A and B are shown apart, each in its own frame.
Chain A
Amino acid sequence: MSASSSRAIQVLTHSPGTMIGVVLVMLHLAVAVFAPLLIPYGETQLVGAPLLAPGHPDFLLGTDAIGRDYFSRLLMGGRTSITVAMVGVLGAVLFATLIGVSAAYIGGLYDDVVMRIVDTKLSMPGILFVSLFVIGFGRSVVVLTIVIGISYFPGAVRTIRAQALTQVPLDYVKAARLRGESALSVILRELTPNVAEVVVVEFAIRTSSAILIVSALSFLGLGISPPTPDWGLMVSESVNQIYAAPWLVLLPAAFISSLVVGLNFASDGLANALGLDAARGLHRS
């Protein structure tokens, strides 16, 4: 394992795109975690005159329309959406692993039913489903996390099942069945470790898209509620001042894009690194 993970690290750090992605993601995560220690003012406090331009001696990035420190709000603005996206997607991917692998292994009617449900969900436009859900169950962080989980679950099932299907016909699965291992034991002990790479990549890719969705919802007023700072929300709050104070829109937008671009680059690199590894294992014969 150590040999293959060190190779994965090698490949990760090999391509400049991946490096940029990893650095961006690390930076964002560090800021999100340590933001409370870094911010000069409370993120919801009114501390100065409204609409001060960046470069002000007291307020590094100026203030917003009602006089809150914009630097503090930007640093704090990713915490909620990143948490919602990551927790939601993590839940989706873990559950999808169990369902996807079992569908591939058990097959038959169970597989059919699972996959048709998945197809049904996939045929709905994602943003529509999410907005209806939020409108129906109310705007809260918990509801958001659950809806993110539900909307990313079907796609993850599909990918993970496909990967598991390449493993099911292999003889090590047959050997386990002949040993009399239970279905659950085959799924967890034999198959799941062999789809782990796909699960990790799936998590990374879907998280980036979930962050976009959460931001879009906040922008539409269906996501995170004021006064909590959130990049999507901040863009929408500042759209009216776009000519007077364009930085109020551009800065949070830049934070969203840099995180999403970083995640995409990093997950691409991760997929390459892990994919290479998987290919080495099974295509040699």
Chain B
Amino acid sequence: MALLEVKDLKIAYRNNATGEQSLAVDGVSFTLDRGETLGIVGESGCGKSTIARALMAYCRPGGEIVGGQILFDGRDVRAFSEDQLRELRGKRMAMVPQDPLTSLTYHMRVGAQVDEISRIHQKLDAKAARQHTLSLFERTNLPDPARTYRRYPHENSGGQRQRVVIAGALACQPDLLILDEPTTALDTTTEMQVLKLVKDLRDRLGVALVYITHDLTLTNYMCENVLVMLDGKVVERGRTAQVFEAPTTAYAKKLVAAIPRVDAPAPVAQASTRTGAALLDVRNLTFRYGRSWSLNPFARRTIDAPAVDDVSFSVPAGGTVGLVGESGSGKSTIANVVVGLLTPTSGTVTFDGQDVGSVDGKRSADLRRRIQVVFQNPLSSLNPRQQVETILTRPLQVFFGITGGPARDRAAELLEQMELSPDLLRRYPRQLSGGQQQRVAVARAFAAKPDLLLCDEITSALDVSVQAQVLALLKDIQLKTGTACLFISHDLGVVKQVCDEVAVLQKGKLVESGRPADVFAAPSHPYTRRLIAAASRREDYEDIASGQDAAAPALEMASSTPGKGQT
């Protein structure tokens, strides 16, 4: 008998306004035994997290299991009483959710939070629970368990927090561990450390794993079997390697093809529009966050570490330059200096022959028009209370004085350029999908007819196939208009795909730069090598693990100075 058997599972959500039920999960079946790993892959909204919760007999408000069975050890979890479920959850099956910061309680020390689990389920006394927690921390490779035990969640880095959550999930040695996008909130090297840990634990403890992710490459690394889901249905299933090598359905083929790979050959030299002359030239840029004074003594800021340290690079007209690095490496600070939100401590920023570094927020309207930004998260960069029409016509009004009918026509034209229907003009951002939102954000940037487009992690909030589409459209419109692009990303695959040149940043310093093909083929700096290894997720990840100690202090630094991370 299999440990977990899901038969023809159907879950529906009720629409609050209309009262109609729509199926979020439609006839999903699978089995899983101890020591096995099953990956569930699909884009956001395909029902994968809904399944994860349903395995623990839980639905979000408005959701309901309307058909099928979930057999755990041969018994249907839906028939369990609340008391029986409490026994089941945490003790026999455990879940690791996506964001460790929200899944830990802010005001409790992390040790106490893990203690709680074994005190409730295994009835350990305080001392035994503490011992148990310390041993769990040790097993999950947390540095200095005794110290970590006393810390609050915010005093740990993202990777450490997620390891605490995993330690909690393992507290009662569950038979089934459900991981719901456990590394999506983490950066690449931290992600590798967590993945390696999970894999080790699976091999050592023989626990059954359900691994939910939108990242196909991860399943290849983590799972023996995989389910590919689309709109609540399983469209493809099988051994991971097989699905990966030879996907049979159109959707799976599209997913596999959309993965940007670092190890793929560089795209054939495209008809580049670069003309050679530097449009943006950054020389010896240094930036320190200064002290800020306030009546409130607790709000005064006194950190004084350089966020960007002597960085030089240039973007040729029509060219695309990538800035790569982990969070906290100073990428976003550079972006803020380039757009004029921050004034450099020293060094110069020259745009089209004009020194723009010291202008300090008083840039001319024309200069503001010529440098446009597309932000990371489209849902936050589009005003939720404005219709797409307002969002697109506002820059037209501000920069060109176009209003009324002509502005509306131009907005529709911009949407069409991004392959969106003009019908969307009447929609609000949250009525659009993530990809549509980001395309509207790109359209807004191009409304100003910029010379330089600054893309700040524009694909990291998007699913992989949507990401490919947005990048293709961006490349297309860039070729048509001859706009230069400064492309900031932590995703090396994406950078390799779109950039003519790449600069690698670590802790505010430029460690390597050059053509992406050269940099990725023969990285000269160990940090670049580590980034590449983490991104390609090869089996030879040992050098990442060995680089772990070097990476840890960097991460702690990044999390302790929230002001300078990315926004």
Interface residues on B, range: 35 or more
Q: Is A10 an interface residue (CB 8 A)?
A: yes
CB distance from B98 to the nearest CB of A (A): 11
Choose, from A95-103, A133-141, A218-226, A277-285, the stretch at the interface: A277-285
Expressed in whole angstroms, the minimum distance between the Cβ of A165 and any Cβ of chain B is 13
CB-CB under 8 A from B385, the residues of chain A are 193-194, 196
Partner of A175, one of B294, B381, B430: B381
Chain A residues whose C-beta falls within 8 Å of the C-beta of B384 in the assembled complex? 172, 194, 281-282
Q: Check A175–B373 contact: CB distance below 8 A.
A: yes
* Cross-chain contact A179 with B16 (CB below 8 angstroms): no
Complex Cα gap A71–B16 (Å): 43
Residues of B within 8 A of A37 (CB): none
Which stretch, A1-9, A78-86, A203-211, A259-267, touches the partner chain B? Answer: A1-9
- Beta-carbon contacts of A168-185 to B below 8 Å, as 1s and 0s? 011110110111110000
Contact of A112 among B294, B363, B430, B444 (CB under 8 A): B294
Cross-interface CB contact of B380 among A1, A4, A170, A178, cutoff 8 Å: A170
A10-B16, A178-B339, A178-B368 as given contacts; A194 in contact with B383, CB under 8 Å: yes
Closest-CB distance, B144 to chain A (whole angstroms) = 33
CA distance A6 to B383 in the complex (A): 21
| Most A Cβ at <10 Å: residue of B363, B365, B394 | B394
Q: Does B382 touch A at the CB level, under 8 Å?
A: yes
Tell me, yes or no, whether B66 is within 8 Å of chain A by CB. Answer: no
Q: In the complex, A175→B384 CA distance in Å?
A: 13
- For B380, the closest partner residue in chain A by CB is A170
B326 CB → nearest A CB, Å: 21
Q: Complex: how many Å from CA A170 to CA B373?
A: 14
Q: With a CB–CB cut-off of 8 A, which chain A residues contact B395?
A: 179
**Is A172 in contact with B382, judged by CB distance below 8 angstroms?**
yes
* A164: min CB distance to chain B, Å: 13
Contact with B along A14-38 (1 / 0, CB 8 A): 0000000000000000000000000
Q: Hey, which chain B residues are within 8 Å of A113, CB to CB?
A: 295
- Are A179 and B295 interface neighbours, CB within 8 A? no
Confirm or deny: B211 has a beta carbon within 8 angstroms of a beta carbon on chain A. Answer: no
Residues of chain B with a CB closer than 8 A to A284's CB = 379, 430
Q: Give, as a whole number of angstroms, the nearest-CB distance from B10 to chain A.
A: 24
Most chain B CB within 10 A, of A171, A193, A284, is at: A171
Q: Does A108 contact B (CB under 8 A)?
A: yes
In the complex, chain B residues 366-389 whose Cβ is within 8 Å of any chain A Cβ:
368, 372-373, 375-377, 379-386
Asked whether B88 is an interface residue with its Cβ less than 8 Å from the other chain, the reply is no
* B379 pairs with A285, CB closer than 8 A: yes
Interface size class of A (residues with CB under 8 A): 20 to 34
Q: Which residue of A lies closest to B382 (CB)?
A: A172
From DSSP, what is the main secondary structure of chain A's interface residues?
Answer: helix
Chain B, residues 541-567, CB within 8 Å of chain A (1/0): the string is 000000000000000000000000001
Measured between alpha carbons, how far is A4 from B341 in the docked complex, in Å? 35
The answer to whether A174 touches B398 (Cβ under 8 A) is: no
| Selected contact of B377 from candidates A11, A108, A171, A179, CB within 8 Å | A171
Contacts of A170 in B (CB 8 A): 380-381
User: How many Å from the CB of A10 to the closest CB on chain B?
Assistant: 5
Contact assessment for A285 and B380 in the assembled complex, using a CB-CB cutoff below 8 Å: yes
Cβ contact within 8 Å between B295 and A112: yes
Contact B17 A3 (CB under 8 A): yes
B152 within 8 A of A: no
The verdict on A128 contacting chain B, using a C-beta distance below 8 Å, is: no
Is the beta-carbon distance between B430 and A6 smaller than 8 angstroms?
no
Mark out the residues of chain B between 338 and 382 whose CB falls within 8 Å of any chain A CB in the assembled complex. 339-341, 363, 365, 368, 372-373, 375-377, 379-382
A8 to chain B, nearest CB (A): 9
**Overall SS of chain B's interface:** loop
> Does A56 interact with chain B (Cβ within 8 Å)?
no
Residues of B within 8 A of A281 (CB): 379, 384, 430
- A190 CB–B CB distance under 8 Å: yes
B295, closest chain A residue (CB): A112
Residue B258, interface by CB 8 Å? no
For the complex, is B461 an interface residue (Cβ under 8 Å from A)?
Answer: yes
| Residue in contact with A11 in the complex, picked from B16, B380, B394, B567, CB distance below 8 Å | B16
Q: Which of A10, A109, A194 contacts B17 (CB 8 A)?
A: A10
| Residue in contact with B381 in the complex, picked from A7, A172, A179, A282, CB distance below 8 Å | A172
Complex Cα gap A183–B381 (Å):
18
Point out the residues of chain B lying under 8 angstroms from A6, CB to CB.
17
Closest residue to B15 on the A side, CB-wise?
Answer: A7
B84 within 8 A of partner (CB): no
Does B58 have its Cβ within 8 Å of any Cβ on chain A?
Answer: no
Q: A180, B461: Cβ atoms under 8 Å?
A: no
**Which residue of chain A is the closest to B299 with respect to CB atoms?**
A112
Q: Which residues of B contact A282 (CB under 8 A)?
A: 379-380, 384
Give the CA-CA distance A7 to B428 in the complex, in Å: 15
| Contact status A108-B294, CB under 8 Å | yes
In the complex, chain A residues whose CB is within 8 Å of the CB of B430: 280-281, 284
Per-position contact with B for A141-180: 1 when CB-CB < 8 Å, else 0?
A: 0000000000000000000000000000111101101111
Are B394 and A178 in touch, CB under 8 angstroms? no
Contact B380 A171 (CB under 8 A): yes
Residues on A with C-beta less than 8 A from B81 are none
User: With a CB–CB cut-off of 8 A, which chain B residues contact A190?
Assistant: 383
A6 CA to B17 CA, complexed, in Å: 7
Binary flags per residue of A67-80, CB closer than 8 Å to B gives 1, else 0: 00000000000000
Does B302 lie at the interface of the complex (its beta carbon under 8 Å from any beta carbon of A)? no
Rounded to whole angstroms, the CA-CA distance of A10 and B386 in the bound complex is 23
Q: How far in angstroms is the closest Cβ of chain B from A124? A: 20
Taken together as a complex, chains A and B put the C-alpha atoms of A190 and B399 apart, in Å, by: 18
CB-CB under 8 A from A109, the residues of chain B are: 294-295
Within B288-308, which residues are at the interface with A (CB < 8 Å)? Answer: 294-296
A182 CB to nearest chain B CB (Å) = 11
Are the C-beta atoms of B341 and A178 separated by less than 8 Å?
yes
Q: Are A172 and B380 closer than 8 Å at their CB atoms?
A: yes
Assembly CA distance A109 to B365 (angstroms)? 28
- Give the docked Cα–Cα distance between A10 and B19 (Å): 10
A196 to B384, CA, bound (A): 12
Residues of A within 8 A of B363 (CB): 180
If A112-B295, A194-B385, A282-B384 touch, whether A177 touches B17 (CB-CB below 8 Å) is no
State whether B17 touches A171 (Cβ < 8 A): no
Question: Nearest Cβ distance between residue B94 and chain A, in whole angstroms?
Answer: 24
Q: Can you list the 4 inter-chain pairs with the closest CB atoms, starting with the nearest?
A: A171-B381, A193-B385, A112-B295, A171-B375
What are 6 A-B pairs with beta-carbon distances under 8 A? A171-B380, A174-B341, A174-B567, A175-B373, A181-B398, A285-B377
A1-B428, A3-B17 are known contacts; what are 7 more A-B pairs with Cβ within 8 Å? Answer: A3-B431, A109-B294, A169-B567, A170-B381, A174-B341, A178-B339, A193-B385
Interface residues of chain A, those whose CB is within 8 Å of chain B, are 1, 3-4, 6-7, 10-11, 108-109, 112-113, 116, 169-172, 174-175, 177-181, 190, 193-194, 196, 280-282, 284-285
